[in-house]
A and B are shown apart, each in its own frame.
Chain A
């Protein structure tokens, strides 16, 4: 029997959005963002290695409201992807796959990431004036 072309499955546009689907897509997007974001970390280390002037320049960028916004977004992406990974650990073990459970885990992923981001930055903004962490 000759090989036929593989059947194609319908793609995103045809499905109703579910939370499990959203966290799956967001997991991939945050992964790609974090991939690109490693440039920020390496750029920061390079600036520090280069000398006081480049470091002050990078510090100035991150202290600016736009730089801070980028960092907050990066932190959220990090937590979203991290908790998404934990979600996959559950599912790899075939835990939390029942009706309702998979949605609950997905919502926990979304809410947890936002909460952790808020907590981390609240701690930072509260303590940066008074003491060094």
Chain B
């Protein structure tokens, strides 16, 4: 489960901000993906190696929604990104991306 693992952007993936969203390209597979503006905000958080809590805080500042909705959206996206190998497990032990909730669960 990505939410419990330290994750980072795959070295095979490059991204380009298009204003209202983002394009991700997996250089290894040649497949590209689109992120809408919410997804782009989450992606920037991943790039910055922010924790889930910080990403949710930033989403709250930009979009309407409850804390649960944001947390759920972030975890769902992390799972999906990991499933498509757009983000990968981080080699280092620091688990910033797991955020406060995960740490509590531990």
Whether A associates with B in a native complex is no
Query: Which residues in B have some Cβ–Cβ distance to A below 8 Å?
Result: none
